[in-house]
Structure 1
């Protein structure tokens, strides 16, 4: 119990004096935050599973939309606009507000959980939802004004969300329509990531150099590029460095578990639309 409170204290320190309560609340039930702050050998018992039983299927659907299918049968679609075929109606969709390819205000009513990455009345979105075998939470970031708003320029505080999906011992992050660098408070709130979905356009979101720095800092085992319509992959690979390898695939989907993560950080390019 003392270890738990020590980890909470570390998170609160990183987030600042006002973040103590938020850090304590965010830690509860989050294996990804626990792993990020534990010693390297301290692996929660619940993460010691078999690869076959706990495989997660991740499919690239287009632009910034990936689907995540959990071992328990929950389907999540990221940055959902309704424009891309997801195979079936997702159980959960996440959205970000940059422009209409990242959200819809008229989602299929059969979707049980529609999660906006922006809050109402000027407040940040605060999402912490367990659906079946997956825990979904968010980390807000600022966003530039764009078509969603009045076009007057400037930044909207907490207008974007990084979504984290914790399932089958995997920590999966989707950076959304990221426009800003991540400071220590963001990194602490995100926690450990095994898989991260990164926009690499280098223009509409963050600069390619800035996104490469974030990718290196997050230290995920698997990097899944998205928003990849402008930047040659070679440019991105040059910036993130030789410590990453490239795995170009002819399939749109991959099945992965904690036990089958690559030993070397790997950028996996799934087949596009």
Structure 2
């Protein structure tokens, strides 16, 4: 075959490949791209003791939470960044497409939207699966027009043994006493730190002070500059630990004596 024919056939093959693999839809938040497949969990993982919980920062606002009984929950489950393994429970929020899924895996046992899709009021969830209880505390968000979307977001609380984990979702405003009462004791808080799409960083510091969680894990920080700005702001307020891996195992007994920010790699 001549060189010219080889080049023609090569070009046609490349074009066919492109047409058979259409581009993904783009996110409406920076820093979360379709090619981010999320942290790939190892196939074999150490068994958890009965009082332990394993947290993996998958990316953006998604964490995989695993219990000793093998129940898995994914926070702000979406179509861009997902854990490798199908969770049993998926929580979602609607502020941006990077916080919810139009096509959740049908194998998920419970898909919990943080808003009422019917628009009749606040979402209400309180389920128990195995050794995990999941419930929500509604909050408001700003709509695209700038108006208040009442009860448009939820903070989700995961109760596993003696540990209470709160994921603040796409929080847009300070917490009021009613929110704090509904949340109850929080041992571990997963909080957005971008300071623009969600609550400003000064406001987030006040939220964390009111929660008094022993472990605070930042998320939603779009690469690193907003995270570093937040950590400079909290220097001297709380201790900070940086982990090399996106997975951490915690128990009530292993919680730090003083509130500590634990940074897991991701974005």
> Cα deviation per residue 1:56-111 (whole Å; 9 max; x = unaligned)?
10000000001100111001000010322412100000000001000012211111
- Other-structure match for 1:46: none
C-alpha distance in structure 2 between counterparts of 1:162 and 1:130, whole Å: 17
* 1:105 aligns to 2:98 (yes or no): no
Are the equivalent residues in 2 in contact too, given 1:74–1:132 (CA < 8 A)?
A: yes
Are the equivalent residues in 1 in contact too, given 2:241–2:262 (CA < 8 A)?
A: yes
C-alpha distance in structure 2 between counterparts of 1:133 and 1:191, whole Å: 19
Are the equivalent residues in 1 in contact too, given 2:131–2:160 (CA < 8 A)?
A: yes
1:137-152 matches, within 5 Å, as 137-146=135-144, 152=145
C-alpha distance in structure 2 between counterparts of 1:80 and 1:144, whole Å: 20
| CA shift for structure 1 position 113 | 0.6
C-alpha distance in structure 2 between counterparts of 1:257 and 1:177, whole Å: 26
Q: How many residues matched?
A: 218
SS in 1 for 2:97: coil
- Other-structure match for 1:40: none
Are the equivalent residues in 1 in contact too, given 2:214–2:255 (CA < 8 A)?
A: yes
C-alpha distance in structure 2 between counterparts of 1:219 and 1:80, whole Å: 26
205, 219, 225: which one pairs with 1:226? 219
SS in 2 for 1:213: helix
C-alpha distance in structure 2 between counterparts of 1:196 and 1:240, whole Å: 16
- Other-structure match for 1:268: 262
Question: Which one scores higher on RCO, CA 8 angstroms, separation ≥ 6?
Answer: 1
Where does the alignment leave 5 or more consecutive residues of structure 1 unmatched?
1-50, 147-151
62, 68, 71: which one pairs with 2:68? 71
- Other-structure match for 1:124: 122
More helix per residue? 1
1:9-158 matches, within 5 Å, as 52-119=49-116, 120-146=118-144, 152-158=145-151
Are the equivalent residues in 2 in contact too, given 1:142–1:160 (CA < 8 A)?
A: yes
| CA shift for structure 1 position 122 | 2.9
C-alpha distance in structure 1 between counterparts of 2:184 and 2:254, whole Å: 20
* 1:174 aligns to 2:172 (yes or no): no
- Other-structure match for 2:247: 253
TM-score by length of 2: 0.78
229, 238, 248: which one pairs with 1:244? 238
Where does the alignment leave 5 or more consecutive residues of structure 2 unmatched?
1-47
Are the equivalent residues in 1 in contact too, given 2:62–2:82 (CA < 8 A)?
A: no
Are the equivalent residues in 1 in contact too, given 2:79–2:102 (CA < 8 A)?
A: no
Are the equivalent residues in 2 in contact too, given 1:165–1:171 (CA < 8 A)?
A: yes
* 1:185 aligns to 2:178 (yes or no): yes
